[in-house]
Structures are given as C-alpha cells and as structure tokens.
Structure 1
Amino acid sequence: MYVDVELSPLVRRSFSQVEGSVLRTEYKAATDRMLRVAVNGFMESVGVVLGVMEELDVDVLDDEGQ
C-alpha cells in the first residue's frame, strides 16, 4: 500500500492492522496544531474513501431496489 508522506517532517504517521479488519493509525507531532491539521486531513481522506465505497457498493444498490 502506498500512502502519501506527511508534508511536515515534524509529523509522523504509522499504520498497522489489528484484529483482521481494523486499521490503526498513530500520529506523533511536534505541536498540538500540527497534530490537529494532520488528523483533520486524514479524516477528510477517510470520508472521501467511505463516500466512494458507498457509491460503488453493489450490495447497497441491490438492497435499495427491494
């Protein structure tokens, strides 16, 4: 999996998979503001991914027709 690096060298992010389908994301930052900006950006990306998954989910489309 390729993930864009953080723009600031003062912010570190790591991913790990736990319990099969849970993605754990850990952030470390030099300041609270850097941490907030990094996490907000990550949450926006998660929202986009979930929106695309919802739009492309064939099972959801099948359930709506019933």
Structure 2
Amino acid sequence: MAAQSDPEFPCSLTIDVPLPTARLASAALQSLRVDQELSPLVRRSFSTIPSPNSPTASSSSSSSPENTVLRTEYKATTNRMLRVAVNGFMESLSTVLGVMEELDVDVLGRDQ
C-alpha cells in the first residue's frame, strides 16, 4: 500500500510500538501527545492500532481487536529534520516506557 507523497513534507517515517495492553498504548499516546513538535518543518501524528498478530474478530470471542500498538507518523521537509525529531521522540518514549515499567499498577501486582 503506497502512501501519498506530500511535496511540502517529502520525508516520512512510521514507528509502531507494540505494548502489552490497550490501556498502556492509550496511556503512552496521551503522555507523548502533550509535547508539540518545536519545528514547523516537522509534522507528527499519534494513533493506536490493533496488533497485526491479534486474532481476527471471527476467531475471537470479542467483537473487535484491542488497539495495543502505538503508531507515530512523522513527516518532515528534510531527512535531517526527520532524524532530529525522531531522536527527540525516542528519548521521550524511553522515559514513558521506563515510568510504565517502574510504576504501572499491573507491575505492582506481579510476584517479584
């Protein structure tokens, strides 16, 4: 499936981050969405999508798969701007995932 090319923002990247639950994917999305891109030369959008490995509705007891994958789509005017923006995003994502690992309520219920 080919994406439409945007002449203003020709450089693009889609990052999919699988998470264990839809709740964690949604929490990551809400946490990362707060910080806006600083440069007008970069555009970013977030969404959650079902995992490609999730069972289809016909073979599952639930009517729709859970959105457990955090999808981040970047568009930029140059490869350099894309790289700089994605580096910043990875730093923020690392912080969010570290906090989830240390403080999430599901983690507190695990046997150590």
Q: Which has the higher contact order (CA 8 A, sep 6+)?
A: 2
Show structure 1 runs of 4+ deviating over 2 A.
none
Q: Which has the higher helix share?
A: 1
SS in 1 for 2:111: helix
Alignment counterpart, residue 24 of structure 1, candidates 71, 74, 77: 71
- State, as a whole percentage, how many aligned pairs show the same letter: 71
Counterpart for residue 87 of structure 2: 40
Deviations 1:12-63 (A, max 9, x none): 001111111111100000111110111011111111011111111313xx42
Count of aligned pairs: 62
Name structure 1 gaps, 5 residues minimum: none
Counterpart for residue 46 of structure 2: 15
Structure 2 counterpart of 1:58, one-letter code: L
The CA RMSD over aligned residues, in Å, is 1.4
Name structure 2 gaps, 5 residues minimum: 1-29, 51-66
